[in-house]
Amino acid sequence: MQLSSPHSFHIPVMGLAYTIDSPIKVARFGINSVISIVQDNLVEKMRSYYYPQIGEAYHAITPNEVDHRAKRITDYLNLVNRIVKEQVEKLRNSAFELGSEICKYFEMLPDDSDLKKTYHKMLALNDPEDKRQLEIWLRENIKPGNIDVNIMTKLDRNNSDKQGQIIEDSSDAVAALRGFVQSNLSNSSLVLSAGMNPRLFGYMEKRSEFDANSYGEFEKKIVIKVSDYRSAFIQGKMLAKKGLWVSEFRIESGLNCGGHAFATDGFLLGPILEEFKTKKEELIKSLFDVYNQALLAKGKAGFEKAHAIKVTVQGGIGTNEEDKFLREYYGVDGTGWGTPFLLVPEATTVDDHTLSQLGLATEKDLVLSKKSPLGARFHYLKGTTAETERLMRIEKGVPGSPCTEKYLVSNTEFGPEPICTASRTYQKKKIDQLKSLALPEVEYNQKVNEVLDKECLCVGLSNAAVKQYKVKPFKKLDGINICPGPNIAYFSEVVSLQKMVDHIYGRTNIIGRPDRPNMFIKELMLYVDFWMEFLNETNETIDNKRKVYIENFHKNLLEGITYYRQLSDKVNLRMAVVIRKTL
């Protein structure tokens, strides 16, 4: 039987580098975390760093090798798994003495944990034999955190052989998936984000690693990051039709999050959670019926009842009060704490310079930008070294990045071969095109600035690990960009892992600002700002379809505000009082 995590929170994927080795840092303490496996060149650099760390020779997996992307990912995940297992064994066998890792393991657990209660009971015992028996029991019940992985489904570039023929099942996302399923990770989850990818889902259907070995038992589990109930139902059903079970829906705020922001149509997090709360059993039943039929159609054994589905939430959580409210009122099975952990070097990988910038960041330093080459909005910390690098290239008359990684190539405006909108190639072509249109000066400058604003993320989001571990750098790009959520403005202290965990569980407080808005209110403020952008669009750009969308967005916002007002009358929490006063 799979044991549940000893902690009520997880560390979500952040950027490319920021959680690339988080399991090595936190898994031995029972904390789940997520590695991005989209950037296999970064993965290879991490292999080059960690093999010498464990006293073994590093053997490069070069692009000349067949299926090199999958091989790199498989080997790195196996390496991380081996390191974590050795760490856990060492922790398990360490002495119960002040400052030891085994004591740290139990002290960080939530106060209502049975394991922690037993730990305190053991410490209070005077009889040596009774104490020894409890120590044995505690050691046997230590459970490491999961080593989970993330694939952003939109990043699925085709890859071709030397003759230019597309290689079957070797697109970026599919190869990354193969790297994961071929690893020796167990009880690990694949976290899918950024929507549906039929090709990827089709490949998942071919892999037996996602099949249930017995009721509730999976070698590899599926987690989908969603923005609302409808998305969960549609994606869950699509996978169920393939005989694939979603073990967790990870709800993320549309705007009050880090990284790429996928805004809902004005639907706020509170009402979304309410819908999951009231319809969860209906969702499970609907998906189970489709899933079981698919299994039987494939000639596989069905199940008498549905496997469990967890519902977790992340995006902007900052206090124990908020975390507790989400779990108790909405009944979510866990929470994700991302952005605050960027200030925890024991948990994430952030270079010293960027770490200092994060600690000093205020609201004005954080923007919901249009810098991502993918076209989606992107949370961004201003003043990074990558921004400085981009501006210097513009000043020298050579805007755009030397596109060495090509994970975000998607634009086919200038030919059938996709290119990245942050690249030097695209920006030169686009600016030349704009020059030829004889646009009014104001409009021309606006459009040129939109082109120049795009920034390389493949390298910028990877370079923190390169700097921190002094591994071989990427070619031609040294700058670092980072994508914290708006929540970083309220966290300024670089803290230990234990202190952050104590903050999450309400045993201490590391937020010095009394003016931090409640997470629901902050998200509402972000959505109002987002809606105001629509209103500031010129009339020429708003057709009837766009006008209807803006009106519906506004209607959904008003319904969300009404919901929060009603919520404040239902629950007797200071959080609800804050909501009532604000609205």
The mean pLDDT value for 397-410 works out to: 95
**Predicted confidence (pLDDT) at residue 441 exceeds the cutoff of 80:** yes
Mean per-residue pLDDT, 222-236: 97
Mean pLDDT of 543-571: 90
**Those residues with Cβ within 8 angstroms of residue 459's Cβ, 6 or more apart along the chain or in another chain:** 401, 404, 405, 474, 477, 479
Q: For residues 130-158, give the mean pLDDT.
A: 96
Q: How far is the C-alpha of 574 from the C-alpha of 564, rounded, in Å?
A: 13
Confidence of residue 536 (pLDDT cuts 50, 70, 90): confident
Mean pLDDT of 482-501: 97
Between 158-172, 233-247, 533-547, the lowest mean confidence (pLDDT) is in 533-547
Asked whether residue 320 carries a pLDDT value surpassing 50, the answer given is yes
| Inter-residue contact 250 to 223 (CB < 8 Å) | yes
Q: Which residues lie closer than 8 Å to 300 by C-beta, 6 or more apart? A: 211, 243
| Angle separating helix axes 574-582 and 544-570, nearest 10 degrees | 140
| Predicted confidence (pLDDT) at residue 3 exceeds the cutoff of 90 | no
Whether the CB-CB separation of 56 and 27 falls below 8 Å is answered with no
Q: What is the mean pLDDT of residues 44-60?
A: 98
Give 107-123 pLDDT, tens digit per residue.
999 999 999 999 999 99
Residue 462 has pLDDT above 70, yes or no: yes
What is the pTM assigned to this prediction? 0.95
Q: Please determine, for residue 582, whether its predicted confidence score (pLDDT) is greater than 90.
A: no
What is the rounded (10 degree) CA torsion for 413, 416, 418, 422? Answer: -30
Q: State residue 163's pLDDT score.
A: 79
Please give the average per-residue pLDDT across 33-45, as a whole number. 97
SS3 260: strand
- pLDDT, tens only, 149-195: 999 998 999 998 887 888 999 999 999 999 999 999 998 999 999 88
Beta strands in 337-444 (DSSP E): 366-369, 377-381
The model's pLDDT over 247-260, given as tens digits with 9 standing for 90+, comes to 999 999 999 999 99
Neighbours of 515 (CB within 10 A): 5
Residues 84-100: what's their mean pLDDT? 96
Per-residue b or e along 369-407, where b marks 16 or more CB atoms closer than 10 Å to that residue's CB: bebbbbeebbbbbeebbbbebbeebeeeeebbbbbebeb
**Per-residue pLDDT for 236 more than 50?**
yes
Of 148, 244, 159, 147, the residue nearest 196 (C-alpha): 244
Boundaries of every domain in the chain: 338-505
- Look at residue 7 and tell me whether its pLDDT is greater than 50: yes
Mean local confidence (pLDDT), 396-405: 95
- Of the listed ranges 126-130, 177-181, 381-385, 565-569, the least confidently predicted one is 565-569
Question: What is the rounded average pLDDT of the residues 538-554?
Answer: 81
Nearest CA-CA partner of 293 in 361, 242, 251: 242
Tell whether the model's pLDDT for residue 539 goes beyond 60. no
DSSP secondary structure code for residue 474 in this structure: P
Are 489 and 388 in contact by the 8 Å Cβ rule? The answer is no
Three-state DSSP string of 160-186: ECCCCCECCCCCHHHHHHHHHHCCCCC
Q: Which amino acid is at 137?
A: W
Mean pLDDT, the chain, whole residue set = 94
Give percent of the chain with pLDDT exceeding 90. Answer: 90
Q: What distance in Å separates the CA atoms of residue 78 and residue 124, rounded to the nearest whole number?
A: 40
Place of tokens 């390169």: 466
Q: How far apart are the C-alpha atoms of 110 and 31, rounded to whole Å?
A: 12
Determine the pLDDT at residue 424.
97
Q: Is the pLDDT of residue 1 over 50?
A: no
